Amino acid sequence: MRHRNKGAKLGRTQAHRKATLASLSSALIEHKKITTTLPKAKALRPFIEPLITRAKVDSTHNRRQVFRHLRSKDAVDSLFFDVAEVVGDRPGGYTRIIKLGRRPGDGAEMAMIELVDYNDVKPETGSSGRSRTRRGSGKGRRKKKDTTPTASQESTTPDAEADEPAADATAADLVDEEATGEEAAGEEAATETGAADEDTQDTTGEATDAETPTAEASDAEADDQKKDA
């Protein structure tokens, strides 16, 4: 039973596991960031952070305790002189773990563990952030139509707007022509009406003239009859 044993075994014996963590800690202190598998990075974090906290107080006892875990004089000197000065004001949380996706060879989850004070910018992860299906990369998908007007469309738009006043002027001309045609038709109708009235007057006058000699002839006949009598 593993009561109160929360540390990962990492598939190693106790001596092998301690040697692995010591080697990873020395590499992290030297390079300030390393890439390893995710289980190793999670196991390294609680192993090295207490050592960094001890390095804030430079004493013989603290150096011996750190050396007992790191087993490297160069790593101990770098930790007490370089790292302790940079992380002196930080109360904890000296490291950061960033997942990098799976390794192509065996599919193991990779991660990068780094010292926070030495790396303020987060690196790009291996995943692109876009989900893919097993059918393909989606190259055959249809592209959305671009609704933004092109330069040619923008150049033709003012011309169309300029043609609108011309169309209005043409419509006004047509209205004027129709009004002029109606006036001319009215004048022609009035002229025809006047000509018809003149013809009517002429025929009436001729009829009167034709009736007048008849009356005169009747008067002449009456006179002749009186003379005969």
- H-run or E-run covering 112: strand 109-115
Task: Please report the pLDDT score of residue 67 as a whole number.
Answer: 96
Q: Report the C-alpha gap between 79 and 53 in whole angstroms.
A: 10
DSSP state of 32: S
CA distance linking residue 24 with residue 16, whole number of Å: 12
Angstrom distance (rounded) from CA 13 to CA 109: 22
Q: What pLDDT does 210 receive?
A: 47
Burial of 25 (0-12, 13-18, 19+ CB in 10 A): buried
Q: How many CB atoms lie within 10 A of CB 47?
A: 18
Q: Supply the pLDDT for residue 150.
A: 61
Q: What is the pLDDT of residue 40?
A: 96
Q: What are phi and psi of 163, to 5 degrees?
A: -75, -20
The confidence score (pLDDT) of residue 17 equals 95
The answer to whether the CB of 108 falls within 8 A of the CB of 102 is: yes
Q: What is the chain's pLDDT, residue by residue, as a tens digit (229 residues)?
A: 889 888 889 999 999 999 999 999 999 999 999 999 999 999 999 999 999 999 999 999 999 999 999 999 999 999 999 999 998 888 989 999 999 999 999 999 999 999 998 876 655 655 555 555 556 555 555 555 656 666 555 555 555 454 555 555 555 566 566 666 666 666 666 666 665 565 555 555 554 454 455 555 566 676 776 666 5
| pLDDT at position 89 | 85
What is the rounded distance in angstroms from the CA atom of residue 46 to the CA atom of residue 113?
12
Query: Which single residue is written with the structure tokens 């990873």?
Result: 24
Domains of the chain: residue spans and CATH = 14-118 (3.90.1030.10)
